[in-house]
Amino acid sequence: MTTNVLEVQAIHTFIGQFHILEGVSVSVPKGGITVLLGRNGAGKTTTLRSIMGLTPPSQGSILLDGESLVGRRPYTIAQMGVGYVPEHRAIFRELSVRENLVIAQRQRGDLERRLDFIFELFPDLKRLYHLPGGNLSGGQQQMLAVARALVPDNRLLLIDEPSEGLAPVIIEHLIAAIRKLAAQATVLLVEQNFRVASLLADRYVIIDDGQSVATGAMQDLRQDEQLVQKYLGVA
Ligand SMILES: Nc1ncnc2c1ncn2[C@@H]1O[C@H](COP(=O)(O)OP(=O)(O)OP(=O)(O)O)[C@@H](O)[C@H]1O
Ligand SMILES: [Mg+2]
Residue 235 has pLDDT above 60, yes or no: no
Q: What integer pLDDT is reported at residue 234 of this predicted model?
A: 67
Nearest ligand to the C-alpha atom of residue 207: 1
Mean pLDDT, the chain, whole residue set: 94
Considering the entire predicted model, what is its pTM? 0.94
The pLDDT value given to residue 1: 52
Please report the atom of ligand 1 found closest to the CA of residue 46.
18
- Determine the Cα angle at 163 with ends 9 and 225, to 5°: 65
Q: 50 with 57: CB under 8 angstroms?
A: yes
Reported residue count of the chain is 235
> Can you give the pLDDT at residue 108?
87
pLDDT of 62 strictly over 60: yes
CA 201 centroid distance within chain: 12
Q: What is the DSSP string of 143-173?
A: HHHHHHHHSS--SEEEEE-TTTT--HHHHHH
Mean pLDDT in residue range 104-129? 93
Lowest mean pLDDT among 74-78, 113-117, 122-126, 192-196: 192-196
Closest ligand to Cα 208 = 1
Which residue(s) pair with 216 in the sheet? 204
Mean pLDDT of 53-80: 97
| C-alpha Rg value of the chain to the nearest Å | 17
User: What is the residue-wise DSSP string for 30-73?
Assistant: SSEEEEEE--TTSSHHHHHHHHTTSS--SEEEEEETTEE-TT--
Q: List the 186-190 sheet strands across, edge first.
A: 82-85, 156-160, 186-190, 32-37, 203-208, 211-217
CA of 56 to the centre of ligand 1 (A): 14
For residue 89, give the 3-state DSSP assignment.
Answer: coil
Residue with CA at minimum distance from ligand 1 atom 17: 45
E-strand ranges in 75-190 read 82-85, 156-160, 186-190
Is the per-residue pLDDT at 105 higher than 60?
Answer: yes
Please tell me which residue, 106 or 57, carries the higher pLDDT value: 57
Q: Which atom of ligand 1 is nearest to the CA of 39?
A: 25
Pocket test for ligand 1, best of 22, 46, 85, 192 (most atoms within 8 A of CB): 46
Pocket of ligand 1 (CB under 6 A): 15-16, 18, 20, 38, 40-46, 192
Q: What is the pLDDT at residue 2?
A: 52
Enumerate domains of the chain plus CATH numbers.
Answer: 4-232 (3.40.50.300)
The pLDDT tens digits for 22-59 are 999 999 999 999 999 999 999 999 999 999 999 999 99
